[in-house]
Amino acid sequence: MNIMPNQNPPTILVQTWLQLLKSDMEQEFKLEVERKITSVFGSIEVAVIYLQEKSNST
């Protein structure tokens, strides 16, 4: 992953985005959350890896 640390959103925000995707929220809102994730990380999978790496580094 080639994202500069100061360009990444806080991990709590990324965790919230991923939790919202799993919730019973309306589909249009889930699509907006997915767009946010992909605009920052390129894919949901990379966002998950980012969180795993952050949790392993603490």
List the chain pLDDT tens, one digit each, 58 residues: 444 455 789 999 999 999 999 999 999 999 999 999 999 999 999 999 999 999 998 6
Task: Determine contact, residues 41/3, Cβ cutoff 8 Å.
Answer: yes
Look at residue 1 in the predicted model and tell me its pLDDT. 47
Whose CA is closest to 18, among 54, 50, 55? 50
User: HSE-up of 12 (CA within 13 Å, CB side)?
Assistant: 0
What the block records as the tokens of 40 is: 């920052």
Claim: this prediction has a pTM higher than 0.85: no
Predicted confidence at residue 7, as pLDDT, reads 76
Residue whose entry in the numeric block shows the structure tokens 């605009």: 39
Whole-number pLDDT of residue 6: 56
